[in-house]
Homo-oligomer: A and B are copies of this chain.
Amino acid sequence: MANQAPPTAPRGIEPALEELISTFNELNSSVVEELDSEPSPLEFMRFVARNTPFVIRGGSSSWTARQKWNSSYLRSAMQGQTVNVAVTPYGNADSPTASPEHGNTIVLAKPHEEPQPFDEFLTYVTRQETDPEFPSGSEVRYAQTQNDNLRDEYLTLFPDAQKDIPFARIALQKSPDAVNLWIGNSKSVTAAHKDNFENVFVQVLGRKHFVLLPPLCHSCMNERLLPPATYVRENQGLSLRLDEGAEPIPFATWDPDDPQTNATPLSSHARPLRVTLDPGDMLYLPAMWYHKVTQSSVPGDEGFVVAINYWYDMEFSGTLYPLVSFLRTLGKSSET
């Protein structure tokens, strides 16, 4: 991406955008607020109103999933079942990636998805994480379908989790649109992106490391239209193939962990919030916040990372969604 000039805001806009970010930084905490127990629906709604994240330390420590899930329990519960696995060479599912097959053009790399016996999948993930003999440079596997899989292909495990998050269901007056299970190891990284959901993230095994940026940091994220491409197995490796006839997808290309690369003139003003979820922690990730997620296994554990997240549809009425969309429109108009 270094060969593309960073986008320039129309004259007059850039100082206003800089002031927007600095005003936010002045008025908001530079750390994620920590609670030691679940909020009431009203307390939760105050965070939703402010569109501000919080973490509940030990919020899911009494869940059956947290108490019981380990390698042998999961293998037993999922015995004989096949699951959808995302396969990539570098753990880069849904990430901006320079494609060697296309002259190093930046594409949005989507994983090769294939069914694998659960048992075999889990063995691969844990051995890659813990076995020093495991061939380095091997492909990376991640169960991350984000299609309500805990109420579908992992249904046998669903009773070990909560059906929903009561404080969120009561406050938002809706059930979750999706309950997603994530199983992987430290090789997988989720690139910074945002979703139109109120998100409650529950750490079960291992750790997740979040880097968070508020929606008003749009101008820092260097969002670009990327052609989508999908990995395919080919010659015993993985190659990227452009999705035929697919429209390019707007995607953030600035990585807050590599701030000098792909920066916009405003990226340096962003103040990313960083928070690590330990096993048993819960995170409220407000709608439209950018989040980059990495993960690590806990030393001495079995070497895999498991999390569950609950997606509640966000509120589109009111003033916040139109204002955040406006930032994207402003950014687009600056490119023409």
- A binding-site residues for B, Cβ under 8 Å: 10-13, 15-17, 19-20, 23-24, 27-29, 41-42, 45-46, 48-52, 170-171, 173, 214-216, 315-326, 329-330, 333-334, 336
Which B residues lie within 8 Å of A12 (CB)? 10, 13, 330, 333-334, 336
Shortest CB-to-CB span from A52 to chain B, Å, is 5
User: How many chain copies does the complex carry?
Assistant: 2
Which B residues lie within 8 Å of A316 (CB)? 27
Which B residues lie within 8 Å of A329 (CB)? 15-16, 19-20
Which B residues lie within 8 Å of A42 (CB)? 41-42, 45, 170-171
Whether B326 pairs with A50 at a CB distance below 8 angstroms is no
Shortest CB-to-CB span from A126 to chain B, Å, is 40
Contact residues of A: prevailing secondary structure: helix
Q: Among B10, B216, B315, which residue has its beta carbon within 8 angstroms of that of A319? A: B216
Instruction: Report the bound CA distance from A12 to B14 in whole Å.
Output: 13
Instruction: Report the bound CA distance from A325 to B26 in whole Å.
Output: 13
Query: Of residues A13, A41, A52, A324, which shows the largest number of chain B Cβ atoms within 10 Å of its Cβ?
Result: A13
Instruction: Report the bound CA distance from A13 to B170 in whole Å.
Output: 39
Whether A27 pairs with B326 at a CB distance below 8 angstroms is no
Given contacts A45-B42, A333-B13, contact A51 B325 (CB under 8 A): no
Instruction: Report the bound CA distance from A10 to B9 in whole Å.
Output: 11
Whether A320 pairs with B322 at a CB distance below 8 angstroms is no
Instruction: Report the bound CA distance from A171 to B46 in whole Å.
Output: 8
Whether B321 pairs with A319 at a CB distance below 8 angstroms is no
Instruction: Report the bound CA distance from A214 to B318 in whole Å.
Output: 9
